[in-house]
Amino acid sequence: MSFKRVRGAARLLLLALCLSASAAGLSQRITLSVTNAPLGKVFDAISKQGRVSVVYRDDMIRNARPVTMDVKNVTVEEALKECLKGQPFTYRINRNMIVIQKPSPSSAQADNPFGDVQGKVLSENGGGVPGATVMVKGTNRGNLTNEKGDVLLENIPTDVTLVVSHVGFETQEIRLNGRTEFTVHLKVRVSEVSGVEINTGMFTRKQESFTGAATTYTGEQLKTIGNKNIIESLKTLDPSFVVVPNNTQGSDPNTLPTIEVRGKTTISNTDLNDQFSSDPNQPLFILDGFESTLQAIYDLDMNRVASITILKDAASTALYGAKASNGVVVVETKRPLPGELRVSYTGDFSFDLPDLSSYNLMNASEKLQFEKLSGMYTTGVYTGANQWLLNQEYNNKLAQIERGVNTYWLSEPVQLGFTDRHSVSMSGGNRDLMFTGGADYSSQNGVMKGSDRDAWGGFVDLSYRKGRVNVTDMLNLSGYTSNNSPYGSFSAFAQANPYYTKRNADGSVPVYLDSTNGQLNPLYNATLYSISQTKYTYFSNSLQGIFTLTPNLRIQAAGLLSQGTNTAVNFTPPENTQYRTILDPHLRGSYTNNNGQSTMYSGNLMVTYATTVRRNQVTVNVRSDISQTKNSSVGFSATGYPYGTDGNPSFAYSYTPYTVPSSSINTGRDVGFLGSVNYAYDQRFLFDGTYRLDGSSVFGSNKLFKPFASAGLGWNIGRESFLRRLGWIQLLKLRGDIGYTGNENLGQFTSVSTYSFQSGSYNPNFGQGLSLESLGNPNLEWQKTLQSSYGLDFTLLRNRISGYFEYFDKATNPLVVTANGALPSSVGLNSGYEINAGKLTTRGVDFNLRVSPIYNLRKRIIWTIGITGEAYKSRYSDFGSRLDALNKQEQQSNGLVRYTDGYSPDDIWAVVSKGIDPATGHELFLKKDGTLTYTYDPNDITRVGNSEPRLEGVINSSLAYKGFTLGVNFRYRIGGDVFNSDLYQKVENISLQGVWQNQDKRALYDRWQKPGDVAQFKSISIQTSTPMSSRFVELDNQVIGESFNLGWRSSNGWIRKLRMQSLSFNLYLNDLFWLETVKTERGTGYPFARSSSFSINASF
């Protein structure tokens, strides 16, 4: 940003005079010896030695003769005379300045009828401002200040007005009113200090005049965290952008993350019924002005990102009305720039190491001991088999262990993952027609063998600008192929017993580890050929035209057409162990194929009017949008394959019996009308107002349109004169806003019931059957969120301290709750039925504080430490009678989540446990009346914890020294409780099947054994199931080494010699460690990874 301004200022130099050196006096002595030196150099030398300002016009002396002179210890005037000998110039002394001029036939006065004006340009704290432009208003005459802030304007009348401007300062006007000298104090321009523009996806706004809560990050900032994907970097940068940890899927490259911005607005519904729906708590993604998907953002090449803006509150998101409740993430890609052809290459390389440190499994002898203690080899405990048979089995296993068998299964399905991505882009063009284009390819191998993701993309952006018209076309093509690991779920390996060997002596993999007991070898299926693959291709083209009618009025129109196609193929070979019990060979093996297509068009038209009347700035936007999304999918499945086939569907014996091809088609249409007003008075008092009328086909025929609105107020306290005078406050802004937004992600609800044909059921006597697909709910009200947000933005001590504090309140009322899961299942409603129930209020704070103890721009050393954080609480209210019955029924069960007014969706419910009675090994429970009991009574269930962390955020530090940067980011989570399912399932509550599987070491060591033992867990010999109690709920504090980065960048020196414009390297370590107070297995289905990456970027 600031570089551009400098370059713009540099252009001014050409038409202005050049002023050099200083002004001290004419008493200095000069010694100078030159041969054939340019006149300018000589002037420079004289001004340096003589400590005077020698003022001349560049173009005037360009053709002057070279100077040869040799003077010793002469005065300034003598030296000047010497060098001007035979030159067509004279000089004139004007106080401390020496002005070089052409002699004219008339007197000097005639050449300079108006005389000179001398000025001084100072900053607010009194220092001279070098390089400021001083222009005569209404003309193109002017000059730049020298290093000390002095300026000389020749031959100007003294009744003119001067315009003094400089990058980083506010432009000021001065009327000379007859004076020939002036002094001006420039005020620092606040917006240049914060320097940030907010891109709302519809238009850009200066952050200083914006009343909403929004944060912007540049592509470079994302790259300082990691080079994996945008989502991973954004979560570290912004405290309110939270990626919900997925303990099952770990670091699976083919699992999309779950994202929340400022908590939930809806009770999450994980069992989404069709592939096109998205998580109802997920923010809206806008890519280059159009709605996009998480998938597209996840796969977007980071190197293309110019900026990302997160809109969090009503004032910033109400522009998106019905889709805005969860926040909006606006991604802008880099735009073409005029200039020579530039080519840039970025290579990203990453190694992923599986993180198995959270596993705490028994070894072979421990496991056998555990089995013995739990009664597996005692007749009548688990089995009625003869004791001698059990003894024999025990001894066989013992013999294996004695033989040295102690298999570590966890290492079997994992590998060192490697990812490489290459992206090339080029851009160039003249000021009328510019282009940028590029391609990228990445290949990612996950930490589980066989899981990978190959993605590719290409784009071309063209921008044409002529006069008042600006047309931009953006074409994108992308796609990926992803494969899931043939090893299946990682948990199967965590369960395999260590006293079995993986392979036969000859290296073959047996089907059974123990055929008599039906223990399968988890490796076996991975040795077979199987397919679990998704292929996706995406195409989009958008065209935008901007027509500037007058400087104040602009019309903008844009349209987008896109299509995404995905194909998911699964093939399970007939040899797979799941078909072991299926005798009919025509039913062994299966193949499924699903094809989905999503087509979207979208268009918008916007009129912007902006004007400034004295200190009043007004911007008005009126916009309308229209869009349609059509999703369709069709699929089929085949059953029965001969052994040894490659999964080609034509080799199957038949379609799966009693199935029909699956098919779904749904079309959604939206229209929207938007009006937005932004008003600022003197840049001090700010107002934002937005009104949006949204029409959507998902609203149902009775209520096609819904209004949404927001209003925000802001006060730039830092611009008040009493604070401005202090000098160390660059920005201090107080803002607040309130507004309504909606959530369209919840899907389409119908007011009528729908039926579908039962798949494949044809009763020969009565024909086809229809089944009730969903029950209509004509009374459903749409979910609306009333959001309010209050924030303080600050930049102090010339960028040494900056940050923001925000308080927010999101009240969603009424909640739309999927009946399936929220109501007792006996209501019989599936996930297509939604009900209104209660209200969810989320209140919280976000903050981001950055302090730079070292901030030396001249030496290019900046050291910054920062902390970001978010804390929020959610509360239910107004659930009222609807779910009262439900809560009573819950008491009969051992569930953990309640809907109760005043409680949070993240509360954990159980009976309070007082631990294990040392005398008996049984659990002691606390009754509601305060007494202790051995008997578990569901009536004693209370809230025992809350899974939401009290505070979560990132502590970061970065050091920049010349071309080097070093960054570290630690995530902290404080105060959340967790229900430790490991303790519940792998230490206690181990069923018969559980005894057959490997378990946590604590199941052997930490359980009660004899009277007097103070143990956390019940006796091994107690086989009865343990109800959920507070004993399994633990406080979980975490510190995660999320990102470490070392970077180097250079754009001069030897880089230039290699004909490169710049070269940079980055090294990253991501998720290096994960410290937590709770000991539990992480990444149960797919392990987590620690990664180390390397990135290189070169532009030519």
Partner 1 sequence: MKYIYLLLFVTLCGCKKYLTVQPEGSYTGPQVFSNEKAIQQALNGLYNLVGSDSLYGGNLSMTTVELLAQQYNNGSYSADNVYNSFEAYSYTNTSVQAVFENVWQTAYAGILAANVFISQIDGAAAAGVVTGAHAQQMKGEAIAIRGLLHFDMLRLFGPVFSTGANNPAIPYYTRPDGQTQPILTATQALDSVLADLAQAETLLTGDPVITGGVVFTPDFYAGYRNQRLNYYAVKGLQARAYLYGGQTSAAHDSALAVLTEGGRWFPWLNYTAIVSNTTSPDRIFSPEVLFGPYNQEMYINFNNYFNANLTAVDILAMQPTRLNNVFEGNQNDYRYTTTWLNGPNSYRTFFKYADVQNTAAPWRYMQPVLRKSELYYIIAETDPNPTVAFAALDSVRYNRGLPNLAATAVLTTEIKKEYQKEFIGEGQLFFYYKRTNTSTIGLGSSTYLSVAPVYQVPLPLSETTPR
Question: Contacts with partner 1 in 559-578 (CB under 8 A)?
Answer: 577-578
φ and ψ of 662, to 5 deg: -85, 145
For partner 1, the closer of residues 86 and 767 by Cβ is 767
Given 396, 616, 753, 856, the residue binding partner 1 (CB under 8 A): 753
Q: Is 765 in the site for partner 1 (CB under 8 A)?
A: yes
Per-residue contact flags (x/-) with partner 1 for residues 859 to 898, judged by CB under 8 A = -----------------------xx-xx--xx-xxxxxx-
Question: Contacts with partner 1 in 259-278 (CB under 8 A)?
Answer: 267
Q: Is 697 in the site for partner 1 (CB under 8 A)?
A: yes
For partner 1, the closer of residues 387 and 825 by Cβ is 825
Question: Are 812 and 268 a contacting pair, CB within 8 Å?
Answer: no
Name residues whose C-beta falls within 8 Å of residue 585's C-beta, 6 or more positions apart in sequence.
574, 640, 642
Q: Binding segment for partner 1 among 361-369, 457-465, 689-697, 916-924 (CB under 8 A)?
A: 689-697
Preceding peptide of 657 cis, ω within 30°: no
Task: For residue 71, list its beta bridge partners.
Answer: 32
For partner 1, the closer of residues 428 and 994 by Cβ is 994
Question: Are 531 and 544 a contacting pair, CB within 8 Å?
Answer: no
Q: Is 1011 in the site for partner 1 (CB under 8 A)?
A: no
Q: Binding segment for partner 1 among 240-248, 412-420, 511-519, 683-691 (CB under 8 A)?
A: 511-519
Q: Is 15 in the site for partner 1 (CB under 8 A)?
A: no
Q: Please report how close the Cβ of residue 908 comes to partner 1 at its closest, in angstroms.
A: 13
Q: What single DSSP character describes residue 495?
A: H
Q: Binding segment for partner 1 among 356-364, 442-450, 526-534, 746-754 (CB under 8 A)?
A: 746-754
Measured CA to CA in angstroms, residue 369 lies from 389, 397, 648, 995 at distances of 18, 11, 48, 11
Query: How far apart are alpha carbons 482 and 452 in whole angstroms?
Result: 6
Dihedral sign, Cα of residue 219, residue 223, residue 228, residue 232: negative
Phi-psi region of 778 (alpha: psi -120 to 50; beta: other; left: phi over 0): alpha
Given 520, 729, 746, 968, the residue binding partner 1 (CB under 8 A): 520
Q: Please report how close the Cβ of residue 670 comes to partner 1 at its closest, in angstroms.
A: 8
Q: Is 389 in the site for partner 1 (CB under 8 A)?
A: no
Given 272, 426, 460, 671, the residue binding partner 1 (CB under 8 A): 671
Burial of 697 (0-12, 13-18, 19+ CB in 10 A): middle
Q: Is 770 in the site for partner 1 (CB under 8 A)?
A: yes
Q: Is 519 in the site for partner 1 (CB under 8 A)?
A: yes
φ and ψ of 717, to 5 deg: -60, -35
Question: Are 747 and 277 a contacting pair, CB within 8 Å?
Answer: yes
Q: Is 1062 in the site for partner 1 (CB under 8 A)?
A: no
Query: How far apart are alpha carbons 272 and 594 in whole angstroms?
Result: 17
Q: Is 668 in the site for partner 1 (CB under 8 A)?
A: yes
Question: Are 900 and 911 a contacting pair, CB within 8 Å?
Answer: no
Count residues binding partner 1 (CB under 8 A): 90
Question: Contacts with partner 1 in 62-81 (CB under 8 A)?
Answer: none
For partner 1, the closer of residues 497 and 802 by Cβ is 497
For partner 1, the closer of residues 550 and 701 by Cβ is 701
Q: Is 666 in the site for partner 1 (CB under 8 A)?
A: yes
Q: Is 935 in the site for partner 1 (CB under 8 A)?
A: no
Q: Please report how close the Cβ of residue 628 comes to partner 1 at its closest, in angstroms.
A: 9
The bridge status of strand 328-333 relative to strand 433-445 is unpaired
Question: Contacts with partner 1 in 1016-1035 (CB under 8 A)?
Answer: 1025
Q: Is 244 in the site for partner 1 (CB under 8 A)?
A: no
Given 643, 658, 934, 1073, the residue binding partner 1 (CB under 8 A): 658
Q: Please report how close the Cβ of residue 824 comes to partner 1 at its closest, in angstroms.
A: 5
φ and ψ of 10, to 5 deg: -60, -35
Residue 97 CA to its chain's centroid (Å): 56
Cα separation of the two ends of the chain: 21
Q: Binding segment for partner 1 among 48-56, 146-154, 792-800, 987-995 (CB under 8 A)?
A: 987-995
Q: Please report how close the Cβ of residue 660 comes to partner 1 at its closest, in angstroms.
A: 12
Preceding peptide of 814 cis, ω within 30°: yes
Query: How far apart are alpha carbons 846 and 313 in whole angstroms?
Result: 12
- Tell me which residue of 626, 718, 707, 703 sits closest to 672, measured CA to CA: 626
Q: Please report how close the Cβ of residue 679 comes to partner 1 at its closest, in angstroms.
A: 23
For partner 1, the closer of residues 419 and 777 by Cβ is 777
For partner 1, the closer of residues 226 and 522 by Cβ is 522
Per-residue contact flags (x/-) with partner 1 for residues 771 to 790, judged by CB under 8 A = xxx-xxx-------------
Q: Please report how close the Cβ of residue 214 comes to partner 1 at its closest, in angstroms.
A: 30
Q: Please report how close the Cβ of residue 1037 comes to partner 1 at its closest, in angstroms.
A: 26
Q: Please report how close the Cβ of residue 757 comes to partner 1 at its closest, in angstroms.
A: 8
Tokens 């770990």 belong to residue: 250
Measured CA to CA in angstroms, residue 863 lies from 285, 915, 968 at distances of 33, 50, 12
Question: Contacts with partner 1 in 619-638 (CB under 8 A)?
Answer: 626
Given 35, 140, 550, 993, the residue binding partner 1 (CB under 8 A): 993
Query: How far apart are alpha carbons 813 and 808 in whole angstroms?
Result: 16
Question: Contacts with partner 1 in 798-857 (CB under 8 A)?
Answer: 819, 821-830, 833, 835
Length of the chain: 1100
For partner 1, the closer of residues 290 and 996 by Cβ is 996
Residue by residue, DSSP assigns 859-916 as TTEEEEEEEEEEEEEEEEE--GGGGHHHHHHHTTS-------TT--TTEEEEEPEEEE
- Describe the strand order of the beta sheet including 117-123 as a list of residue ranges: 150-153, 117-123, 181-186
